[in-house]
Chains A and B, each alone.
Chain A
Amino acid sequence: MIEVQHITKQYGGFTAVDDVSFRVERGEILGFLGPNGAGKTTTMRILTGYMPPSEGRATVAGFDVFDQPIEAKQRTGYLPETPPLYPDMTVREYLDFVARIKGVPSRERKERVKAVMERTRVADMADRQCGKLSKGYRQRVGLAQALIHNPEVLILDEPTAGLDPKQIIDTRDLIRGLAGDHTIVLSTHILPEVAQTCQRVVIINKGRVVAVDTPDNLTARLQGAATLFVHLDAGGADAAAALAAIPGVSRVAPADQRGAAPPPAPDTFEVESERGVDVRRLLANTIVTRGWGLLELRPMRMSLEDVFLQVTTEEQPQEAGAPGLAPTLEPQSEEAPRA
C-alpha cells in the first residue's frame, strides 16, 4: 500500500532523512517511533506530498507521490503535528471546506461531515469555532479532517500528543478500529503507544532506520537486562557496594543521574541486573536482613532513550552501560509520585 524506497531529504547541508526504506501492507498499522528531530515528520511530509524527497521515491496506493501527486493525495488523509485548523471557522464549516478541497462530491458532503464528526466524537462541538476548542478537541477535529474523504491511507503525526489519558485511550481505540479499512502510519515518541496500537514498528533515529519489527519481537529483543529503582530508609555507607555484590546485579548507581523533578533522596539507587536474571527477591532479602528498611522497589520506566541505546548498542550492551528494559511495557511515568 505504501512503499518508501531509499528516501533522503536534505535541508541545506543538513540531512533530515537518510536512505529510509520501508513498506506498509494494506490494512496494517505501522508505528513510526523516534525521538524529536529523528526525521519522522519529514518522512511523513514526503509521503503526503507536502515536500519532495531529495532522493528516492515513495508510492502511496500505487501512485508516486511526486509524479502523480493528485491521485496519491486523493487517497491519503494526513494529520500534521499541529492540527491544521482555521480558528475562525466552526467545526462544521471547517470539515465542509476540507471535504470540498478533498473532492468529496457535494451531495455526499453533509453526510460525510456528520459521519466523521460522530466517529471522532466532536459532534457536540459542531458549531463551535475551531480556535475556541480545547487541545483534545482540536486533535480530534484534525483526525476528522484526515478521515473526511475516506482515504485508503492515513498518515498521523503524533495523533495522541496533548491529549489527556482518557482521550489517548479513546483515540487509540479509534485508530485500531480504523485499521483494516485503512492503512495507517502513525508516529509517536511514546513506546507503549506503539506496543498497544501498531502491528509493526519502524524505529528511526537521526534520519536513519535503526530497527523494523513487530512490537512483540522488539520487546523480546530488548528484554533481558532490567533496571530497578530502589529506595532505602537508611542505607549504610557501603549500601551501594553491598547491592553490587549481589549475584546477578551488574551495576549500581545513585539514582540522581536523570535530573528527576523532586531531587531523589540520598539512599536511592538504580540497580541494573544481568539479562534474564530477576534479582528482586535477592535484593529485597539483602536489604531486609541488613535492616536498611526497604521503602520502594520498582522497575524503572523504559524510556525511548533506553530503547535507542539498546537498539543502537546491541552488540556491546554491557560496555555501553545501556539501561535495560522493564520486563513489561507498562506505561509508567517518571514523574509519578514516589511512595
Chain B
Amino acid sequence: MRNILAIAGKELRSYFASPIAFIIIGLFSLLFGFFFYTYLTLFVRQSEMMMMQGGGAANINQQMIRGVFLNSAVIILFVMPMITMRTYSEEKRSGTIELLLTSPITDFQIIVGKFLGAMGLYAAMLFVTMLYMAILFIYGNPEWRPIAAGYLGLLLMGGCFISAGLFVSSLTKNQIVAGILTFAVFLMLWVIDWIGESSSPTTKAIVEHLSITRHFDDFARGVVDTNHVIYYLSFITFGLFLTAKSVDSERWRG
C-alpha cells in the first residue's frame, strides 16, 4: 500500500508540476460550465412555461442535471486521453521505467499507483464542477442523492477510461500515438451502441451492454444499479489486467 501511494503521489505531483493538470481542469470546467449554463436557461424557460400553464414545478434533477451529466460524460471522453496518454509512454521514452521496474515493488503496485494518480486528477476535475452544483443548492432545492449518484457514475466511468488509457499507453513509447489510440478506443466504446440501433435485438443487447456511456444513463438519472457498478468495476479490473500483461510481455521481449 505504501508503494502504491508513493507511485500515486508521484503521478499526481507530475500532473500538477506541468501545466497539463491545469489545462485539463480548466478546459473541462469551461465546457462543463457551458453545458450547465445552456441547460439551466433551458430549464428556467421550461419551468416558466409550465408555471403559466398551471402545472407543477419542473423537476430540476431530471430536466436539467441529468442533461448536464450526460453531456459531461462526452466531454470526459474527449479529455481523458490527455490524462492517460503519458502515464506509461513517457516513462518508457525517458527511461524512468527502468527505475520503477528495478525497484523492490511489484508491477501491480506500479499499475494501481498510476491508476490512482490519474483518478486523483480526475477527481479534482469533478470537484471543480461541484461549484456549479453548489449554485443550484444556493438558489434552488435540488435533491442531493441523484446528484451523488451521478458523480459516482462519472467516477466509475472515468475509471474505465483511465484503465483503458493506461493499457494503451503501456503499448507505446510515443505519447501522441498513445493519445490518438486512446481517443479512438474511447470513441469506439461510445459509438458502439449506435451500431445497435439498426441491427437485430440480440446484437443490440450485446452492443448496448458493451457501450461505456450507455451504462452511465441510469447514473445520470440518479439510479445506482449494481448491474452497472459491476460492469464498470469489471471493466476497470480488465483494463488494469491488460496493462499488467502488457508490461510483463514488454519485459520478456526486452
Contact = CB atoms under 8 A, between A and B. Distances in A.
Interface of A: 9, 11, 16, 42, 45, 48-52, 69-71, 73-74, 76, 78, 80-89, 93, 97-98, 100-103, 145
A189 to B, nearest CB: 19
Given A11-B253, A97-B10, A70 B104 contact: yes
B6 A11 contact: no
B7 A101 contact: yes
Given A84-B99, A89-B10, 5 more contacts: A69-B104, A85-B96, A86-B14, A101-B3, A101-B7
Nearest to B251: A51
A197 B30 CA distance: 60
Contact of B95 (A80, A98, A102, A103): A80
7 tightest CB-CB pairs across the interface, nearest first? Answer: A84-B99, A88-B17, A100-B6, A73-B104, A84-B96, A48-B102, A74-B104
B101 A50 contact: yes
Contacts of B104: 69-71, 73-74, 101-103
B56 interface: no
5 contacts: A50-B101, A50-B102, A50-B251, A70-B106, A85-B94
Contacts of A80: 95, 98-99, 102
Interface string B12-37: 01100110000000000000000000
Chain B interface bracket (under 10, 10 to 19, 20 to 34, 35 or more): 20 to 34
Interface of B: 2-3, 6-7, 9-10, 13-14, 17-18, 94-106, 251-254
Contact of B2 (A51, A97, A100): A100
A74 B252 CA distance: 21
Contacts of B101: 49-50
Contacts of A81: 95
A78 B98 contact: yes
A89 B103 CA distance: 18
A81 B94 CA distance: 11
Nearest to A82: B95
B129 to A, nearest CB: 26
A41 to B, nearest CB: 10
Nearest to A47: B102
Contacts of A98: 99, 103
A58 B252 CA distance: 16
